[in-house]
Amino acid sequence: MSLPYVIEPMTPEDLDEVMAIERASFPMPWSKRAFLSELSLPYSVFRVARPKRGNRVEVVSPQRRWLKRRSRPERPPVLGYTGFQVILDEGHIMTIAVHPQHRRRGLGTLLLLDLFEQARERGVRRLTLEVRVSNVAAQHLYQAFGFHLEGRRLHYYGDGEDALILWSEPLDSDETQARLEALRGRLLARLEAQGVPDPGSGDFV
């Protein structure tokens, strides 16, 4: 099956779309300046997901849903993104987000599968991240990838909420590779069954 999405490096030209998703996804979003700073670092890896060229997908600004839908046939829209830093043989996942209209369709899983592959290609042995205690949906996604709890940072976020510290199993272990292969197989079957989403169908809510 040919995937209806492509995942490629994030560029500064993507940041207006990235920022719209960022503000719709997090109570304390990153600034555009922070993204630009990370994109300039050789040890930071930021990627964006788009519909494959030829798959017509239109999106509405997450902030202003009443705006007229617009299409960019010359440049497919950003539907989600990830970012991580490589620190020696460890990878620190800094962000992952999906456009509100495209959630619960497997795109978060696809982005994480790509992140694991990118990390392994760069010699990363284990991945770590912080996640809000209240973000149960994200915790379930990470658990499916084999992340487990190894600590807690009290009042980690600017609003005072604690963060859970999660770590993956070794990326090159047989257990991790088998898990990733199973996740990939289930995702391919899901994407094949659901097809390319129609932005007018209401399936993104």
> Which residues are catalytic, by number?
130, 142
Roughly how many angstroms between the first and final C-alpha of the chain, as a whole number? Answer: 26
pLDDT in tens, 84-116: 999 999 999 999 999 999 998 899 999 999 999
Phi and psi at 11, nearest 5°, equal -125, 165
- Tally the residues of the chain: 205
Strand, helix or coil for residue 57: coil
**Cβ 47 vs Cβ 14: under 8 Å:** no
CA gap 190, 205 in Å, rounded:
18
- Give the pLDDT band of residue 193 (cuts 50, 70, 90): confident
**pLDDT higher than 80, residue 203:** no
Q: Which distant-in-sequence residues (6+ apart) come within 8 Å of 50 by Cβ?
A: 5, 6, 7, 8, 76, 77, 78, 79
The pLDDT assigned to 75 comes to: 79
In Å, how far are 4, 20, 197 from 142, measured between CA atoms?
A: 23, 24, 24
Which tokens belong to 175?
A: 């257990």
